[in-house]
Amino acid sequence: MSNHCFLLTYTVKTRDNSYSSQEKTDFVRQEMSEIDCWVKLSNVETTFSGYFNLDETIKCNKKNEAKEKIILKIKSILNKYDAFYEVDVQCAIMVEGLGEPISFYV
């Protein structure tokens, strides 16, 4: 297991313009801003930093493991608001020692 610092930035968007989707998007956006297991950057609204313990030994597997940790956290928020099919969260994460940014949607 190795400890890696990371920087995550994200954006939350609705998939359509219905009132319900917009409301869920606002709930997800608010909940994400309150994540307390990572450090929210005070001067950048949608950016977190923190540390991951990554068990994998191969670089591409470590990237996938880091990505999965973020996805699990975001999915729990989407599920809480039953917003999985109405809200997209686009993420970019950089993990110490793993090279280029990893971009993905949840």
pLDDT above 90 for 46: yes
Decide: helix, strand or coil at residue 57.
coil
Q: Which domains does the chain have, with CATH numbers?
A: 2-105 (3.30.70)
- Mean pLDDT of all residues in 70-95: 96
Work out the mean pLDDT of the chain and round it to a whole number.
Answer: 94
Question: Which pLDDT does position 29 carry in this prediction?
Answer: 96
What pTM did the predictor assign?
0.90
pLDDT above 90 for 81: yes
Place 42 in a pLDDT band, splitting at 50, 70 and 90: confident
Question: Which pLDDT does position 2 carry in this prediction?
Answer: 86
- The total number of residues written for the chain in this structure: 106
* Residue 48 neighbours by CB under 8 Å, 6+ apart: 7, 8, 9, 35, 38, 39, 40, 41
